[in-house]
Amino acid sequence: MEGDRIRCLNKLLRALILVLTLLQYVNPSLSLGFKNISSGGVMRCIEREREALLAFKQGLVDHYNILSSWGREVHKQDCCTWVGIHCSNRTNHVTQLNLGWSSSPEAYSQSLQQKRHPQNITYGFQGKMMSPKLIELHHLKYLDLSWINFNGTRHPDFIGSLSNLRHLDLSFASFGGRFPSQVGNLTHLQYLDLSFNYFANVENLNSWLPHLSSLTYLDLSWNNLSNAPDWLEMVSKLPKLTNLTLYQCGLPSPAIHSTTLFNMNSSKYLTHVDLRFNRLTSSIFVWLSKTNASLVHLDLSSNQIEGGIPQSFSKLCNLQILDLSGNNLSGQLSRLRFLRQHKRVHFTGTASRALSVLSFQK
């Protein structure tokens, strides 16, 4: 009897020890050996991910000491508390790496804002190389490396294997080389900004863009799309797109075949379209006539649009900002009068004949 009880207690004790050991494994802060962890005593960072981030830091020159919280010292161990890093509070995996503009010190981002031109920027970071260890961050959903000067180095291919990414911002990062069409692998992407880099001409939109069917935001400004006559057809395959910016891309006037165009499902939700400084002609209006009422902001300034404004414009009843300056529009401008009645339209730009004609009609 007594022996049975002891055996039973023994088992219980062993089970208890097992549970405690497991707990310790799950939450190392329970261990007495661990001290001085900055996030309220709970160590969250996963070691493999910390090492990947430190390797990534090695590839940067940090002029402003922005990453002073990133280190190996005991009190810096929890990478989840580092500047620019966010971890899942469920799994502790790193889900955000944000070293872009928004994470930079105030003074620095202000100075950037005044110099929005790649040739004139004082960068916060110099990118020597992008450590391939970054692929250890399998759970990354948000990656913003905008405004890190990679000085024309080639964009690393491994970005295509960060398959959980929702948000990718590499704008103003001065990457060069081939256009990174492997972003076509990132099928969960909702936000993609690759504007203002030095990539080679984009030729095969078809091979990657239509894969990104969750995209709501796309900015490819300053990439040379002059060899992509199908750009509009490809953009139109993105069913959820709301914001489209293709500023200064050498866009040719789209090849619009009415049959393909009218079978398109796109453009239902477009609110913001910025196609400034391209080579568009009035055929762009055919597409816009399909966008229906969703458009709020439309900028077609500095293109090669000639002639009148089509009747279909009167369907764009939610427009608040319209810029047609720097084109050669004439005739039938009275079709825009309905916009004025809504008193929500701002005509920006100065070189606009459209503007002056409308002013006359006031």
Ligand X SMILES: *[C@@H]1O[C@H](CO)[C@@H](O)[C@H](O)[C@H]1NC(C)=O
Does residue 39 belong to the site contacting ligand X (CB under 6 A)? no
Does residue 113 belong to the site contacting ligand X (CB under 6 A)? no
Does residue 268 belong to the site contacting ligand X (CB under 6 A)? yes
| Gap between the terminal Cα atoms of the chain | 104
Does residue 263 belong to the site contacting ligand X (CB under 6 A)? yes
Strand 217-219 and strand 94-98: the pairing is unpaired
- One-letter identity of residue 236: S
Please state the closest distance from residue 360 (CB atom) to ligand X, in A. 17
List the one residue from 68, 110, 161, 361 that touches ligand X (CB under 6 A).
161
Contacts with ligand X in 183-222 (CB under 6 A)? 184-185, 201, 208, 217
Tokens 């990656």 -> residue:
143
- Of 37 and 336, nearer to ligand X (C-beta) is 37
For residue 25, give every residue at least 6 positions away whose Cβ sits within 8 Å of its Cβ, in sequence order, or none: none
- Whether residue 187 contacts residue 160, with contact meaning beta carbons closer than 8 Å, is answered with no
The H-assigned helical ranges of the chain are: 2-26, 47-58, 106-113, 231-235, 258-262, 284-288, 337-342, 353-360
Does residue 297 belong to the site contacting ligand X (CB under 6 A)? yes
Backbone phi, then psi, for 161, in 5-degree steps?
-105, 5
Please state the closest distance from residue 267 (CB atom) to ligand X, in A. 7
List the one residue from 7, 11, 63, 75 that touches ligand X (CB under 6 A).
75
Does residue 38 belong to the site contacting ligand X (CB under 6 A)? yes
Tokens for 296, please give them: 């709020």
Does residue 257 belong to the site contacting ligand X (CB under 6 A)? no
- One-letter identity of residue 93: H
- Whether residue 274 contacts residue 248, with contact meaning beta carbons closer than 8 Å, is answered with no
List the one residue from 109, 151, 214, 318 that touches ligand X (CB under 6 A).
151
Does residue 182 belong to the site contacting ligand X (CB under 6 A)? yes
3-class secondary structure, 136: helix
Please state the closest distance from residue 279 (CB atom) to ligand X, in A. 11
- Whether residue 144 contacts residue 172, with contact meaning beta carbons closer than 8 Å, is answered with no
Tokens for 124, please give them: 């916060």
Number of residues that bind ligand X (CB under 6 A): 38
Please state the closest distance from residue 239 (CB atom) to ligand X, in A. 8
Please state the closest distance from residue 4 (CB atom) to ligand X, in A. 43
- Whether residue 102 contacts residue 144, with contact meaning beta carbons closer than 8 Å, is answered with yes
- Of 14 and 128, nearer to ligand X (C-beta) is 128
Please report, as ranges, the residues that interact with ligand X according to CB under 6 A. 36, 38, 74-75, 89, 115, 117, 120, 126, 151-152, 160-161, 181-182, 184-185, 201, 208, 217, 224, 226-227, 242-243, 250, 263-265, 268, 271-272, 292, 296-297, 306, 328, 330
